[in-house]
Amino acid sequence: MCCRYVLLKDHLLEIFRALGLEPPANFSSRYNLSPGQVVPAIRTGASGAPAAAALNWGLLPAWSRLGGQRRPNARAETLASKPSFREAFRTRRCLLPASGFYEWEVRGKARLPWLFRRPDSRPFCLAALWEGRRMPDGSEFETCAIVTTAPNALMRPIHDRMAVVLAPEQFGRWLDPGANPQDLAPLMEPAPEGGLSAMRVGTRVNRTSVDDEACLLPPEPGTEAGPQFSLEFA
């Protein structure tokens, strides 16, 4: 699963400008984005070109009742068959720009957070789906879910799922409204070895109320259980 991620302002601007989009006004770097919050996204607009959007993280299927369960993640293996996601997978795919994402290692009663990002510190996008529904007041409520897949060798010792990470050359294919969903399976494979690095960070990121640059720091020596080291596969 993926339930928190990082998005630095410079990285958001880089991705939006590369796609010819106007960046969101007054966006500040976010170090602990969590489900339930509004996140910047890119989807296919009415003209067929990429368009910016602001989506609520936690997909609410159009057919479900208001106030029903929202789904922050969608398993790649069942996107085409699960009622909650199959229509969105067919027609409403989107990208969530990211600088890194967190996963938690469970060790006894401890939940130890790890930060995953590119070794070169460049931005990427997370594969996602979006859904919209009309609210009683006439407004449109738009939500999204991050697609997850099996872990790669780097993630496997820490967690049994990982977010689907897309490189720039894959953005257009994921957004293409004419793409056959069956042909998108290669995009939803685990990130290749060497594509990500992992670093233990402090447990302050466990609290959704904490969102500052210190979320990216390793644990202070002697303050937390667990190893304090980085992993990187060449």
Phi, psi of 15 (to 5 degrees): -70, -45
In a domain, 234, yes or no: no
pLDDT score of 227 more than 50? no
Query: What is the per-residue pLDDT for 64?
Result: 81
Alpha helices in 38-139, H assignment, sequence order: 86-91
User: Which percentage of the chain shows pLDDT scores above 90?
Assistant: 79
E strands, the chain, are 5-7, 30-33, 38-44, 50-57, 73-75, 93-98, 100-107, 110-117, 124-134, 140-149, 162-163, 165-166, 197-200, 230-232
Q: Which amino acid is at 29?
A: S
In a domain, 223, yes or no: no
User: Which percentage of the chain shows pLDDT scores above 70?
Assistant: 94
CA distances, 217 to each of 32, 173, 203 (Å): 12, 35, 10
In a domain, 113, yes or no: yes
Q: What is the mean pLDDT of the chain?
A: 92
Condensed to tens digits (0 to 9), the pLDDT of residues 161-197 reads 999 999 999 999 999 999 999 899 999 999 998 999 9
Which position has the higher pLDDT, 228 or 79?
Answer: 79
pLDDT score of 27 more than 90? yes
In a domain, 230, yes or no: no
CATH code (residue 86): 3.90.1680.10
pLDDT score of 220 more than 60? yes
Contact 57, 33 (CB under 8 A): yes
Task: List Cβ neighbours of 178 (8 Å cut-off, separation of 6 or more).
Answer: none
Q: Which residues are catalytic?
A: 2, 103
Query: What is the per-residue pLDDT for 213?
Result: 97
In a domain, 200, yes or no: yes
Q: What is the dihedral of CA 36, 203, 153, 77, to 10 degrees?
A: -20
Question: Total domain count for the chain?
Answer: 1
The residue among 33, 155, 25, 172 whose CA lies nearest residue 164 is 155
pLDDT score of 218 more than 60? yes
Q: What is the pTM of this model?
A: 0.92
pLDDT band, very low/low/confident/very high, at 23 (cuts 50, 70, 90): confident
Query: What is the per-residue pLDDT for 229?
Result: 41
Query: What is the per-residue pLDDT for 138?
Result: 78
In a domain, 103, yes or no: yes
CA distances, 197 to each of 115, 137, 186 (Å): 8, 45, 21
Task: List Cβ neighbours of 119 (8 Å cut-off, separation of 6 or more).
Answer: 194, 196, 197, 232
In a domain, 220, yes or no: no
Condensed to tens digits (0 to 9), the pLDDT of residues 46-71 reads 999 999 999 999 999 988 877 778 99
Query: What is the per-residue pLDDT for 24?
Result: 85
In a domain, 74, yes or no: yes
| Domain extent at residue 170 | 5-208
**Residue 183: count of CB within 10 angstroms of its CB:** 10
Condensed to tens digits (0 to 9), the pLDDT of residues 96-124 reads 999 999 999 999 999 999 999 999 999 99
